[in-house]
Structures are given as structure tokens and as C-alpha cells.
Amino acid sequence: MTSSHEGSATDAEAQAIVERNLCGLVNALSRQIEQHVRERAVALNLTAPQATALRELGGPLTMRELADRMACEPSNATFVIDRLEEQGLVERRPHPRDRRAKQLVLTPEGITLRERLLEILMEGSPMAGFTQEEQITLQHLLRRALS
Amino acid sequence: MTSSHEGSATDAEAQAIVERNLCGLVNALSRQIEQHVRERAVALNLTAPQATALRELGGPLTMRELADRMACEPSNATFVIDRLEEQGLVERRPHPRDRRAKQLVLTPEGITLRERLLEILMEGSPMAGFTQEEQITLQHLLRRALS
DNA sequence: CCGAGAAACTTACAACTAGAACTATTAAAG
DNA sequence: CTTTAATAGTTCTAGTTGTAAGTTTCTCGG
């Protein structure tokens, strides 16, 4: 069951395999979460990253803040916001206190669409089956892994 | 700290925010793991997905099995294996028992490169800081979410 | 004040990714 | 045995992603 084709299983190698499985699980779950978003977002004519961005835009954000929340590079946020702006869902305004930055603000259409999106995303989340205590321990462990 | 710009925080909305944070953590950790692989793999002239594929090829696999282990679509596995085959690291052989399937086998160069890769990937894994007990609970929780 | 360095954002590019459509083969039902 | 459905793999396309390079603006030490 556990990669029997590997060489002799010293402690170090066994530990490496456990870590690999753990990473694989995190990765698989991440894909499943993205898939969940993608399946729901298509009903609103949004792609998964577009939906994620819209979800995070509960209040005004800079590009950098959005990129951090989406766990992606700023260049990628630029790409996604370009699409949302083309659809008239979000607006790039000059930042009031920093002329380098942009302030992302939802348009009225963006606000109503976001409300619908939040409702849709709530149904059948992959994390729904956990008790509150389990969610806390999981949150704690994940945060620690994030260095 | 916790999205104070959201509307009135009913229990349902608060729960939704917790779930969102949890998904965000999983996603962020997944990106960090991929980044870790990418940074190490570049020393071997491999991209992150190529390194992941090579890592999983400890024994012969079909394309479908590899895609499952990489948590991606088969079409994507085709793309990655094309690159590894171009580099002479892996070989597509006819499957002995199923003429539809291919059997992926590492070449001698692939085997030696994989050994070096495993050594390199072991250093400073994002999951290294956990005790064995923590790893087990984490594994348990992640598996349940995957269902 | 001013120059060096850092930060925010964008652009261009190369790579990865999922989904749909397609062929070839197998398995299952009749 | 034959028709039907399911599976393995590939190709094609549109969309996403990270890196590197470049511009503008801010910050801070002198």
C-alpha cells in the first residue's frame, strides 16, 4: 500500500514518504476546493480565480492586498482584475493616500453579484463536515506549517 | 482582523467566514509546497510539475495513475510526461496487460536524477516541523475533507 | 532637501491547467 | 458473439500562473 517499490525503508526514508503523502493531501484538497469554486462560479459566468477575487472584495483592497488574499503573485491579480473590470464588476480607483497603489472597489453590479456568489459558495463546502473544534485544530496546524 | 467590513455577523455568516479562512489556509499551504518544490527543482533543470511527476515515478505507473497521484487531469499528465520524455528521463512503453494504457518507466538517467531529487526535496519541507502525532491528526482531518 | 533603496503595479513571456472532442481498446450486457 | 458502455490516452483551446523587467511613487538616512 505504501510505495512498496521504494528501496529499503530506513527511518529517514519512511519519514520522507509520510511528508510526501501529507503534501499530496494538502495539494489534492486545494484542487478540490478550487474545483468546488469553479463548479459554482460557472453559473454566474465567472472563472474560479475571478470568483475568488470577487469573494475577497468585501471592502476596498489594493492589488497587493488582493494578491495576498488570493495567495498569488501581483501580476496574476492584475490579470484577474482586468477581466472583472471588463465585466463592469470592479473599478480601479486611485488610492487616497498612496499614488502608487490602486483601490479596488466593487460597482453596484459587483456588489449584487458578490452576494449571490457568497450564497452559492456556502452550499456544500468541502470543509462543511467538521465540528468547530476540528476546524480550530486544523486551522492551528495549517498556520504553523505556513511558517 | 476578521473582515470587519462584512455585514452583520449572524452565525451562518460567521461560519461561512471561518470556512473561507480554512480554505484560504489550505490553498496558501498548497502554493507554498509547490513553491518549495519549484525552488529546489530548478537546480536540476526541472519545473515543479515535472519534479512532482518524477518523484511519483518510484515504480512503473500508467498515465491515469500518475495523474491521480499528481491530482491533475490526464491531459495535463500527457503534457508533463512529454517534457520528461524529451529529456530522456522517462519512457512510454506499451502496457503488458492493457493495450489502451501506457506504462511509464524511468530511464537510467531518470532513476539517478530522481534519487538526487528526493534528497533535495527532503531539505526544509514545509511539513517538517510537526511531531508524528500532529502529522497523523492532520492526515486524518485532510482525508476526511477529501471524501 | 536629495539620492538610494524599496514598494505598487503593470507588461511580456513561458509554462501549466482543465475541459471538450476524438481514437483505440476493453468490459459488460444481451 | 455482438452491440453498448466505459476506460486510457491524446490533442486542441482558452484560461491561469510565476518570473523577470520596467515605470512610477514613496521612504528614509544623510
Mutate to test the interface with B, among A135, A138, A140, A147 (most CBs of B within 10 A): A138
Q: With bands split at pLDDT 50, 70 and 90, how would you rate the model's confidence at A136?
A: very high
Range(s) of the domain holding residue A67: 9-146
Helix H or strand E segment including A91: strand A90-94
Cα atoms found within 13 Å of the Cα of residue A36, Cβ hemisphere only: 21
Closest to A61 measured CA to CA, from A109, A106, A110: A106
CA A116 centroid distance within chain: 18
Cell 531518470, residue? B110
Cell 462584512, residue? B6
Domain with B48 in it: what CATH number? 1.10.10.10
A 51-80 → B contacts, CB under 8 A: 55, 58-59, 69, 71-72
C chain positions with any atom within 7 Å of a protein CB: 7-13, 15-21, 24-27
Overall average pLDDT of the B96-107 stretch: 98
SS3 string of B45-67? CCCHHHHHHHHHCCCCECHHHHH
Q: Which residues of B touch A19 (CB under 8 A)?
A: 122, 125, 127-128, 135
Look at A71 and B118 and tell me if their CB atoms are within 8 Å: no
Strand partners, B105: B91
Q: Which residues of B touch A143 (CB under 8 A)?
A: 25
Q: Is the pLDDT of residue A1 over 60?
A: no
B42 touches chain A (CB under 8 A): no
| 8 A C-beta contact, residue A66 and residue A57 | yes
Strands (E), B72-123: 90-94, 102-106
Q: Is the pLDDT of residue A145 over 50?
A: yes
- The pLDDT value recorded for residue A93 is 98
| 8 A C-beta contact, residue B120 and residue B40 | yes
> Which of A88-97, A122-131, B13-22, B126-135 comes out lowest in average pLDDT?
B13-22
Q: With bands split at pLDDT 50, 70 and 90, how would you rate the model's confidence at B1?
A: very low
Tell me whether residue A3 is in a domain: no
> How far is Cα A113 from Cα A57, in angstroms, rounded to an integer?
11
| 8 A C-beta contact, residue B58 and residue B48 | no
Provide the mean pLDDT of chain A: 92
Q: With bands split at pLDDT 50, 70 and 90, how would you rate the model's confidence at B66?
A: very high
**Model pTM?**
0.91
Look at A23 and B127 and tell me if their CB atoms are within 8 Å: yes
Determine what percent of chain A is predicted with pLDDT higher than 70: 94
Per-residue pLDDT tens over the stretch A50-87: 999 999 999 999 999 999 999 999 999 999 999 999 99
Cell 503573485, residue? A73
Tell me whether residue A25 is in a domain: yes
Per-residue pLDDT tens over the stretch B16-37: 788 888 999 999 999 999 999 9
Tell me whether residue B132 is in a domain: yes
- The pLDDT value recorded for residue B9 is 61
Q: Which residues of B touch A142 (CB under 8 A)?
A: 22, 25-26, 29
B 85-104 → A contacts, CB under 8 A: none
Tell me whether residue B104 is in a domain: yes
Q: Is the pLDDT of residue A4 over 50?
A: no
A20 touches chain B (CB under 8 A): yes
| 8 A C-beta contact, residue B90 and residue B107 | yes
SS3 (DSSP) at A103: strand
Q: Is the pLDDT of residue A2 over 60?
A: no
> How far is Cα B6 from Cα A129, in angstroms, rounded to an integer?
24
Look at B138 and A139 and tell me if their CB atoms are within 8 Å: no
Overall average pLDDT of the B95-105 stretch: 97
Determine what percent of chain B is predicted with pLDDT higher than 90: 79
Closest to A92 measured CA to CA, from A80, A100, A102, A83: A102
> How far is Cα A147 from Cα B1, in angstroms, rounded to an integer?
19
**What is the CA A137 to C1' D13 distance in angstroms?**
42
Q: Is the pLDDT of residue B117 over 60?
A: yes
- The pLDDT value recorded for residue A46 is 97
Per-residue pLDDT tens over the stretch B118-146: 999 998 889 988 999 999 999 999 999 99
Which of the pair, A13 or B60, is modelled with greater confidence? Answer: B60
Instruction: Give the count of domains, chain B.
Output: 1
Q: Is the pLDDT of residue B6 over 60?
A: no
**What is the CA A107 to C1' D10 distance in angstroms?**
43
- Counted residue by residue, chain A has a size of 147
